[in-house]
Structure 1
Amino acid sequence: NLPAVRYVIACILLWKLNSKVVIFSGKIIGGGMIRYLKSGGLLIGRTIAVLLTMTLSTSLAAREGPVPMAGHQLCLQVWLTISLLNDALALAGQALLATEYTKRNYKQARMVLYRVLQIGGVTGTALAIILFFGFGSFSSLFTDDPAVLGIAKSGVWFVAISQPINAVAFVVDGLYYGVSDFAYAAYSMFFAGAISSAFLLVAAPEFGLGGVWAGLILFMSLRAVAGLWRLGSKGGPWNSILSETDLRDKM
């Protein structure tokens, strides 16, 4: 039985690893675990806010009929696939920022912050240009139905224009996690999701797919603005990083 063998191997590996590194401890319930559960709960809530907003947009698009729905899904898949390329940049920024932040090397952390945001903006702009001129070729990979392609091509502005916004939003998400700013990441997402969902409920019945796409752009814009506002206000852990005096300069 292959699954049973895998479980046995996994248990053996964990047992051997636990002999070298403390994985299972009798002191599992403590301040560290409570903080872990709190942060995990915030991120679960944040994920739910994203899923609810995206699900609502899909539901409203489906009410337009099968052909508009197919065109919307084509646009959405291209939009998400290209946007998620920025996740690699966000993950790199998260790791680099976390490294410098834990060392209290705030000067280097600021450099990481600025460079990641700059690269994200440039990457998003480049993706927008590529998609604007190449969206027809990308969409033809999914279907040859002229009606669906016509709907999809009408969404090229939605897919292309939103890329710089998406890049900043995804990069800022990674920066949140690099300094454990989980509470703000969650609450700002709740706010963005609530405002965007209300907009979708009003705009989609009136403007169809245009209203749905406008709602999604609003959603990503609010995420990006919330992130930039957090950095600009120097709230929470960002106060230490964005202060002019590095801790090492004081020593």
Structure 2
Amino acid sequence: MGVRHGSKMLLPAHNYLTLRALVAPAVLLSLSMQGVFRGFKDTKTPLYATVIGDVANIILDPILIFACKLGVSGAAIAHVLSQYLISIILLVKLMHQVDLLPPSLKTLQFSRFLSNGFLLLFKVLATTGCVTLASSLATRLGATPMAAFQICLQVWLTSSLLSDGLAVAGQAIIATSFAEKNYEKATSTASRVLLMGCVVGVGLGIFIGLGLQFGSGVFTKDINVKHIITIGLPFVVGTQPINSIAFVFDGVNFGASDYTYSAYSMILVAIGSIGSLFALYRAAGFVGIWVALSIFMGLRAIAGIWRIGTGTGPWSFLWK
């Protein structure tokens, strides 16, 4: 990840990741169950469970980090406990709705699950690979630029994922519409969520621009870190509409079960983005990383627009 042996980031990062690794089973179980509830068109239960877990995380953070003097390790422990809480809530709720033990292994349709699952796995690897590489390159710039980069990155990802709510809603409705062969409903739903995504993206950009400009002190008191945050701010703000469109298109294409295109297009996007990351990092350092991340999200949005715009794959009915 680019952390040198003499760096003061090494020990806290190692401790944090070691503890965070304990949360992997809870996260995987939670994401799986959220997918099940989405299939039921129940988005309230995952929302309530996530809010309860996140509130617990927020309460535990200052207690473990400052009161117990655990520092970064306390943040990791708080996250682990909150994720297991979310998983327990979802599991209890799901057990009241369905029989989790299948009558036979054949009913699980493992072959169909694995074929789609591997495609989505490649997509996730391509997506997270770009962001992880960006973090690794930022680490090589030193502790202060890395601190600023992480603040910008977390705000960037958190605000962008708010658009994921639109993607989830669109995915559920579009999937039902395709199953019923109600293509008119699928088209109108896709159009509406994309329009709403644009509006949400612009609104988030304005909110984040004002918030980080005057409220960066919420994250840090370091003057140097604040200064570098202002350098990354235009990219965090300016890409919000693009990010929203990209996330919404993901949901729209998932609703159409267009997993193959989503996976392969993301791999191509990742290849281009990784190349731009290396080139722009060498040319412009911190700014170059953010330019490359902006290119990455722009290419994701273009890939989504291309599929529907050309009327190919499951969207071929648009040209009939």
One-letter amino acid of the counterpart of residue 118, structure 2: G
CA-based RMSD: 2.4
- Out of 132, 141, 166, the residue aligned to residue 89 of structure 1 is 166
Question: Equivalents in 1 of 2:239, 2:220: separation in Å?
Answer: 23
Deviation at 1:128, TM superposition (A): 1.1
Partner of 2:176: 99
- Describe how 1:170-181 pairs up with structure 2 within 5 A: 170-181=247-258
In 1, the alpha carbon distance for the partners of 2:242 and 2:125 equals 21
Q: Deviations over 1:117-175 (max 9, x none)?
A: 10101110111122222222342211111110110111110100000000000000111
Q: Distance in 1 between matches of 2:309 and 2:215?
A: 37
Aligned length: 231
Q: 1:27 aligns with which of 102, 106, 117?
A: 106
Change (3 A) 1:22 1:235: farther
Aligned counterpart in structure 1 of residue 139 of structure 2, from 62, 85, 95:
62
Which residue number corresponds to residue 129 of structure 1?
Answer: 206
**Matched residue, 1:205:** 282
Uncovered stretches (5+) of structure 2, i.e. residues with no partner: 1-87
Which residue type is aligned with residue 23 of structure 1?
A: P
Residue aligning to 2:240:
163
Matching of residue 215 in structure 1 with residue 282 in structure 2: no
The sequence identity of aligned pairs, in percent, is 43
Partner of residue 150, structure 1 = 227
Matched position secondary structure for 2:106: coil
Q: What's the counterpart of residue 77 of structure 2? A: none
- The amino acid across from 2:157 in the alignment is L
* CA distance in 2 between partners of 1:26 and 1:84 (Å): 35
What CA distance in whole angstroms lies between the structure 1 residues aligned with 2:308 and 2:295?
Answer: 20
In the TM superposition, what is the alpha-carbon distance from 1:50 to its structure 2 partner?
1.2
Determine the structure 2 residue equivalent to 1:238.
315
User: How far apart are 1:26 and its partner, in Å?
Assistant: 4.3
Aligned-partner Cα distance in 2 for 1:55–1:39? 24
Counterpart of 2:241, as a letter, is P
Does the C-alpha gap of structure 1 residues 138 and 237 become closer, same or farther in structure 2, counting only changes over 3 Å? farther
Alignment pair present for 1:113 and 2:190: yes
Answering whether residue 191 of structure 2 is matched by residue 191 of structure 1, we say no
Question: For residues 22 and 142 of structure 1, do their structure 2 counterparts lie closer, same or farther at Cα, with a shift above 3 Å needed?
Answer: closer
CA drift at 1:35: 2.2
Matches within 5 A, 1:68-83: 68-83=145-160
> What letter matches 2:280 in structure 1?
A
Deviation at 1:33, TM superposition (A): 3.0
Shift of 1:107: 0.8
Q: Give the C-alpha shift of residue 34 in structure 1.
A: 1.8
1:60 CA drift (Å): 0.7
Deviation at 1:38, TM superposition (A): 0.7
Q: Which contiguous aligned blocks of 4+ residues in structure 1 show a shift greater than 6 angstroms?
A: none
Between the aligned partners of 2:152 and 2:311, the Cα distance in structure 1 is 36
Q: Distance in 1 between matches of 2:293 and 2:254?
A: 23
Residue matched to 2:26: none
Higher relative contact order (CA 8 A, sep 6+): 1
Please tell me whether the aligned partners of residues 231 and 287 of structure 2 are also in contact (alpha carbons under 8 angstroms).
Answer: no
SS in 2 for 1:140: helix
Match of 1:43 among 112, 120, 125: 120
The alignment partner of 2:124 has SS state of: helix
SS of equivalent residue, structure 1 residue 67? helix
**Equivalents in 2 of 1:81, 1:138: separation in Å?**
16
**Alpha-carbon offset, residue 187 of structure 1:** 0.5
Q: CA deviation at 1:24?
A: 3.4
Aligned partners of 1:224 and 1:65: how far apart in 2?
31
Separation (CA, whole Å) in 1 of partners of 2:159 and 2:107:
40
